Chains A and B, each alone.
Chain A
Amino acid sequence: MSLDAAASWVAVLAFFAVILKPVGRYMGRVFTGQRTLLDPVFSPLERRLWRWAGIDPQASMTAVQYGTALLATNALWAVFAYLALRAQSHLPFNPQHFPGLTPPLAFNTAVSFVTNTNWQAYAGENTLSYFSQFGVLGFLQWVSPAVGLAALAAFLRALAGRSLGNYFVDLTRAITRLLLPAAVVLAVVLAALGVPETLAAYVHLHPLSGGSTWLPRGPIASWEAIEHLGTNGGGFTAANSANPLENPSPLTNLLEIAAMGLFPVASFYAFGYVTGRPRAAWTLIAVAAAFYLAMLALAYFPEVAGNPVLNRLGLHGTANWVGKELRFGIGGSALFQASSLAFTTGSVNAAPDSMVPLSTLSLFLGLLLNMVFGGDGVGLLNFLMFVILTVFLLGLMVGRTPEFLGKKIETREVSLTALAFLVHPLLILGATALAVSLPAVHDTLNRGPQGLTEILYGFASTAANNGSAMGGLEAGAPFYLWATGVVMLIGRYVSILLLLLVGESLLAKKAVPESPGTMHTDTPLFGGALFGAILVLNALTFLPVMALGPVAETYLLGAHRLF
């Protein structure tokens, strides 16, 4: 392992270790409506907003009300985004005079940003106006992570035996107390480190090599800040964080990684703060961290080992440099990719399609588990879904009705949670099966396992609301625009809604006091069992397709066949 790769791992892990407690505590305070430093600034504004909208911030919602409010606001934003993207040519701030988007592309893009996926079937710099980028997609980059954080806040409060709370309050506080302050700081720092922040038109360049070209620019620093803090991942330009204007240096690279992990990682500590069970939180942190480390290793070492076919030819150094930026190196690229997939951000600083098949398994691990800290709010929600399933399976083995945080897990909770677990494989496997069955789609795929990997990756990425893509997939084809759109919608909302119902159902139960007869969920034993259970449950679901995709390709590569 190279020294700078090791140093960057240490830097990132140390950062998360340091922020975990203070930021987690702060998130917990925000989730439970306690006073924060920013209250003097925002509270008066918020009070006026509640009065104007006729919302009683103290009134708690039921799960159905919370879910309805969540769906209604998201639907409203999606329709607004769709119409604005369609009518782009009639709207202001369009210095490049881009036309309106086609219906499938507008649908796909609107859904993609509302669901915090930021799957981009377009190249931002030559498709979207400033208004579309900032007025539409920029707005969605703020609200979509806030929706995830709000859902998490409601669920955590339910687990802690408090009320489910008010969606609008949660949504607003997630933006004003969490995303906004962090984004302001990060944008300033990024701008200072050389990321452009301007509303001027693109620059027309006449390079020394002759001819002329456009250099796209814009308020990229603020875009990057919320793109990563909000685990959004949609790049300002198609090249995303590989573009030097979005991610100029190894330092900004680390900053962006830190930014995307900030809230997902800290929310695990917030779980312990809100429920008053810090030890339980540490257990979950340890399990997620173990998966994260596994992803880092799996993304890095196969890349360093490189492509055996090219290595045999002795063409260049052993590492796989294809599709990577020299300024980040293998270490910086692998670290960014693995983190972006773990935190389901989906921004990329290298081409996932060009990684050796073994290291794409690292990316798949993030997409399929969808809980390696995961996206803002939803990552922990997904994790807790696995925790509840594991508690039920293992809990029976101590001879009591299984309990989680003092609440009995019974038929209703098990059924709802199991259904939430079903959604992810249903979307990925179902959509992939459909795609390969359609002759028109089949013909556009790359040959061999690589083609299958690309299509699996596309649907796993959209189902997990990650948004990164393998370049080989024709994401702009109408089938994919519609199919990934539907997958993103179901993948985002069904599990959130089911888990809100689980939370409400647990909230209604009487707490069972702890005794030596209680299975503890805050022990290394449970952590180990949880790690094993998550691994086995997911392996059983996804092993066949992984065998047909990346695993088969790894063996073929070993046999010197390329695709």
Chain B
Amino acid sequence: MGDRVSMRGPNWIELVGESFKKLNPLAMVRNPVMFVVEIGTAVVVWLTVRAHHAQSRQYDLWVSVILFFTILFANFAEAYAEARGRAQADFLRRTKSSTQAKLLRPDGTYTVVESHQLTRGARVLVEMGDLIPGDGVVVEGVGSVDESAITGESAPVVKAVEDSVTGGTRLLSDRLVVEITVNPGETFLDRMIALVEGAQRQKTPNEVALSALLGVLTLIFVLVVVTLVPIARYFGPRSTELATMVALLVCLIPTTIGALLSAIGIAGMNRVALINVVAKSGRAVEAAGDIDTIILDKTGTITIGNRMATEFLPVSGVSEAELAEAALIASLADTTPEGRSVVELALKVLRRERPPEVAGEPVPFSAHTRLSGIDLKDGRSLRKGAVSAILAIAPDHREEMERLAEAVAREGGTPLGVEADGHTLGVIRLKDIVKPGLRERFAQLRAMGIRTVMATGDNRITAEVIAREAGVDDFIAEAKPEDKIILIRQEQAGGKLVAMTGDGTNDAPALAQADVGLAMNSGTMAAKEAGNMIDLESNPTKLLDVVMVGKQLLITRGALTTFSIANDVAKYFAIIPAMFATVPTLRGLRHLNVMHLSTPHGAVLSALIFNALIIPALIPFAIRGVQYRAEPADRMLARNILHWGVLGVIIPFIGIWAIDRALGWLGLG
């Protein structure tokens, strides 16, 4: 998926143009921190024009240039994040543009219209090779659809009546009649495009809270600097330079986070889109970081869809090879995944490469007999099926068979009896297989304090075994759809936030009730409407990735805010001794110049340059999110305080010192 974005590198000229466009004060007001910088820049520019001495004009000019770049860098960060989103959106948009739809009339004929003219309820004909013109539900026909444009998965998917289809995918075979279910501009693609472009981005709750705090901090620093002017003039009318005051203000207000905040938000949404999830709102993504409990279906999510044969348990007097041989032949005609797994296991046990060639009459499975098997030409008859059904036709070894079956069931498996010519041979153990890697992911979630609950229709015993094997924290056995809602309500009543995945119509109420409901794109329309996110790849474990993205979004904001505030300490040590260097009474403050910056003006400029350069330096962190591990909160806190708080205090001391040296070499100090 990564290639979607990289297929078109950022257009630097366009980005710079965009950064200039964003200088418009009317747009800037939305970001109070950078708006203050813009006003400050205007003040210093005015000072530069009005300056009486060449020397002070030169200084004022430098200050205004650096301030100007500070704003440009901030704008650039936002423009860059938006451009990345837009690149992705363009790709998506291309898949949906220029589609022509065959709009069916009631009489069965059709007219060709543009896809964006289709409204909810319209019925369209899709024929082999056509692009499906919009999101909808199949009402007639069966066909295979190539959904790779959306999911990246190349294998075609069969769509039949009541299946939902997505606009922009291509019908490979047959013909379908699709009822359009969304109005133009409301499709999932439209939502995704709006979200990644950041165009209609609404601030998420935590972002609003952080903005409020940054606003008040800015206000405090404005207050500090504005009052410092008269307070410093107490030592004489010429004890402050206005340009230096503006520089101090800009250095103090949290410009780093102020400049990157919006880029962080856009990039966060973009990361969600990159894992092929459509979030209907940024709020849902942020809520994913707060999730306490995840409810996952067993089948298809935690286990590979079907049970697999894992062991042959022969009755006494029968060898494992005999049982395997019988099971193998009985299953040759069985094309179900379970049947194939029996064949595979038998070949392994018998150390054979390929199944034998046999001639006979297959007996298909029926719900009535609960058996399947084969009647061979040589007169032998082999059956496998439910143990009780097998015992009904082959009553020997009844007790032993029942004992084996019970043992298998107790360990969470499903027993399958095998008989040949009226003699029972033994039992095949069928088991749910937990998807590889899930156990580790659940362990990670547990470390982060997220509880996983497995929902399954299986009985308690089976459920318990799978639950233990998968490493989930809890399970609900014999679960009915309403049990999920009850569980979600219970958890929510305890103050917890719950996430779940679902695809069926009967999942819809639970998806709506959950704080984060991830619907599968392959699911029904009702499920997709109810959830607040849709996974285009229909991979239920994607929920775990969404949680990670949500957490990383918050961590990135917190880390850069902490860094921004921690940086201020060094800037004070650069600017305070410098700003009062000309006041005789205050000359003692030069002792605070711990960085040994060479000249007062050089010190101010160095601090200001550092303040500006740190913005582009941190853009990669804002876009990719700060490094993040699955671990308990307190350990994560310790590491982030060290990385962003403690280093946030130290780094600017080194940075400002280095810039001052560099200015000295360039003769600008």
Does B232 lie at the interface of the complex (its beta carbon under 8 Å from any beta carbon of A)?
yes
Does A512 lie at the interface of the complex (its beta carbon under 8 Å from any beta carbon of B)?
yes
Does B161 lie at the interface of the complex (its beta carbon under 8 Å from any beta carbon of A)?
no
Q: Cβ of B562: which chain A residues have Cβ within 8 Å of it?
A: 393-394, 397
Are B231 and A436 neighbours in the complex by a CB distance under 8 Å?
yes
Chain A nearest CB: distance from B496 CB in Å? 6
Q: Cβ of B386: which chain A residues have Cβ within 8 Å of it?
A: none
Q: Which of A410, A432, A555 contacts B588 (CB 8 A)?
A: A555
Does B589 lie at the interface of the complex (its beta carbon under 8 Å from any beta carbon of A)?
yes
Are B209 and A392 neighbours in the complex by a CB distance under 8 Å?
yes
Chain B nearest CB: distance from A127 CB in Å? 31
- Tell me the A194-239 residues at the B interface (CB within 8 Å): none
A409, B208: Cα distance in complex, Å: 12
- Tell me the B239-264 residues at the A interface (CB within 8 Å): 252
Q: Cβ of A523: which chain B residues have Cβ within 8 Å of it?
A: 634
Are A512 and B565 neighbours in the complex by a CB distance under 8 Å?
no
- Tell me the B208-247 residues at the A interface (CB within 8 Å): 208-210, 212-213, 216-217, 219-221, 223-224, 226-235
Are A518 and B449 neighbours in the complex by a CB distance under 8 Å?
yes
Does A67 lie at the interface of the complex (its beta carbon under 8 Å from any beta carbon of B)?
no
Q: Cβ of A513: which chain B residues have Cβ within 8 Å of it?
A: 292, 494-496
Chain B nearest CB: distance from A364 CB in Å? 15
Q: Which of A406, A418, A556 contacts B495 (CB 8 A)?
A: A406
Are A401 and B554 neighbours in the complex by a CB distance under 8 Å?
yes
Q: Which of B217, B569, B589, B638 contacts A551 (CB 8 A)?
A: B589
Chain B nearest CB: distance from A405 CB in Å? 12
Q: Cβ of A419: which chain B residues have Cβ within 8 Å of it?
A: 216
Q: Cβ of A394: which chain B residues have Cβ within 8 Å of it?
A: 558, 562, 637, 641
Does B557 lie at the interface of the complex (its beta carbon under 8 Å from any beta carbon of A)?
yes
| Contact A436-B234, Cβ < 8 Å, known A430-B227, A525-B634, A544-B224 | yes
Question: Which among A92-100, A118-126, A249-257, A532-540 touches the partner chain?
Answer: A532-540
A409, B554: Cα distance in complex, Å: 14
Main secondary structure of the interface of A (DSSP, over half): helix
Are A519 and B559 neighbours in the complex by a CB distance under 8 Å?
no
Does B29 lie at the interface of the complex (its beta carbon under 8 Å from any beta carbon of A)?
no
Chain B nearest CB: distance from A178 CB in Å? 34
Are A518 and B555 neighbours in the complex by a CB distance under 8 Å?
no
Main secondary structure of the interface of B (DSSP, over half): helix
Q: Of all chain B residues, which has the CB nearest A411?
A: B209
Chain A nearest CB: distance from B577 CB in Å? 8
Does A452 lie at the interface of the complex (its beta carbon under 8 Å from any beta carbon of B)?
yes
Q: Cβ of A539: which chain B residues have Cβ within 8 Å of it?
A: 569, 572
Does A37 lie at the interface of the complex (its beta carbon under 8 Å from any beta carbon of B)?
no
Does A134 lie at the interface of the complex (its beta carbon under 8 Å from any beta carbon of B)?
no
Does B430 lie at the interface of the complex (its beta carbon under 8 Å from any beta carbon of A)?
no
| Contact A520-B634, Cβ < 8 Å, known A409-B209, A552-B585 | yes
Q: Of all chain B residues, which has the CB nearest A430?
A: B227
Are A555 and B496 neighbours in the complex by a CB distance under 8 Å?
no
Does B447 lie at the interface of the complex (its beta carbon under 8 Å from any beta carbon of A)?
yes
Does A545 lie at the interface of the complex (its beta carbon under 8 Å from any beta carbon of B)?
yes
Q: Cβ of B572: which chain A residues have Cβ within 8 Å of it?
A: 539-540, 543-544
Are A529 and B645 neighbours in the complex by a CB distance under 8 Å?
yes
Are B210 and A548 neighbours in the complex by a CB distance under 8 Å?
no
Does B365 lie at the interface of the complex (its beta carbon under 8 Å from any beta carbon of A)?
no
Are B448 and A516 neighbours in the complex by a CB distance under 8 Å?
yes
Question: Which among A299-307, A371-379, A420-428 touches the partner chain?
Answer: A420-428
Contact with A along B561-596 (1 / 0, CB 8 A): 110011011001000100010000111110110000
Are B292 and A517 neighbours in the complex by a CB distance under 8 Å?
yes
Q: Of all chain A residues, which has the CB nearest B547?
A: A399
Q: Which of B229, B450, B555, B638 contacts A396 (CB 8 A)?
A: B555
Interface size class of A (residues with CB under 8 A): 35 or more
Are A396 and B558 neighbours in the complex by a CB distance under 8 Å?
yes
Q: Of all chain B residues, which has the CB nearest A415?
A: B212
A317, B199: Cα distance in complex, Å: 73
Q: Of all chain A residues, which has the CB nearest B239?
A: A548
Q: Which of B209, B219, B554, B568 contacts A422 (CB 8 A)?
A: B219
| Contact A510-B495, Cβ < 8 Å, known A394-B558, A547-B592 | yes
Does A448 lie at the interface of the complex (its beta carbon under 8 Å from any beta carbon of B)?
yes
Q: Of all chain A residues, which has the CB nearest B212?
A: A415
Contact with A along B125-141 (1 / 0, CB 8 A): 00000000000000000
Q: Which 10 A-B pairs have the closest CB atoms?
A: A555-B588, A517-B449, A396-B558, A399-B551, A515-B449, A418-B216, A433-B227, A397-B558, A516-B449, A429-B227
Q: Which residues of A pack against B, CB within 8 Å? A: 389, 392-401, 406, 409-411, 414-415, 418-419, 421-422, 425-426, 429-430, 432-434, 436-437, 442, 445, 448-449, 451-452, 510-513, 515-520, 523, 525-526, 529, 532, 536-537, 539-541, 543-545, 547-548, 551-552, 554-556, 558-559
28 CB contacts below 8 A, A to B, read: A394-B562, A396-B559, A398-B558, A399-B551, A410-B209, A422-B220, A429-B223, A429-B228, A429-B231, A433-B231, A434-B230, A436-B231, A436-B233, A442-B234, A512-B495, A515-B450, A515-B451, A517-B292, A517-B633, A519-B637, A536-B568, A537-B565, A539-B569, A540-B569, A548-B235, A555-B587, A556-B585, A559-B588
Q: Which residues of B pack against A, CB within 8 Å? A: 205-206, 208-210, 212-213, 216-217, 219-221, 223-224, 226-235, 252, 286, 289-290, 292, 446-451, 494-496, 550-552, 554-555, 557-559, 561-562, 565-566, 568-569, 572, 576, 580, 585-589, 591-592, 628, 632-634, 636-638, 640-641, 644-645, 649
Q: A422-B223, A548-B235 are in contact. List 14 more A-B contacts (CB 8 A).
A: A392-B209, A399-B448, A401-B286, A419-B216, A426-B223, A433-B228, A442-B234, A449-B585, A512-B292, A515-B450, A539-B569, A543-B576, A544-B224, A547-B589
